[in-house]
């Protein structure tokens, strides 16, 4: 279960990059450098993939043992789920 906590934290960081990527649309004249490219890759590609896999893992853990909140904090699960919903809305 430590891996689930680790991937939950990684997903949270990628989801923060997703928010930064959304802000890039409203900032005019951003320089085209490596930092903005890193945020775009982590925010647009990795966050969607990791969060989707993580939500499936959360559901599997809840269906099998129902002790998810013993290993992963509830605020982290809720935040990742809300980011998943936000990403799903932006995908549609």
Distance CA 92, CA 39 (A): 21
Confidence of residue 13 (pLDDT cuts 50, 70, 90): very high
pTM of the prediction?
0.84
Domain count, the chain: 1
Q: What range defines the domain where residue 12 resides?
A: 2-91
Mean pLDDT of 55-83: 89
Handedness of CA 88, 43, 1, 82 (dihedral sign): negative
pLDDT value at residue 6: 94
Distance CA 39, CA 50 (A): 15
| 3-state SS, residue 25 | coil
pLDDT value at residue 82: 94
Confidence of residue 66 (pLDDT cuts 50, 70, 90): confident
| 3-state SS, residue 33 | coil
Residue 1 has pLDDT above 80, yes or no: no
């Amino acid at each position: 279960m430590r891996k689930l906590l680790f991937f939950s934290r990684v997903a949270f960081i990628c989801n923060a990059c997703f928010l930064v990527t959304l802000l890039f649309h409203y900032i005019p004249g951003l320089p085209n450098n490596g930092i903005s490219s890193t945020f775009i890759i982590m925010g647009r590609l990795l966050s969607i993939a990791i969060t989707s896999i993580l939500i499936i893992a959360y559901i599997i853990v809840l269906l099998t043992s129902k002790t998810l909140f013993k290993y992963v904090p509830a605020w982290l699960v809720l935040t990742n789920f809300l980011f998943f919903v936000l990403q799903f809305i932006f995908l549609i």
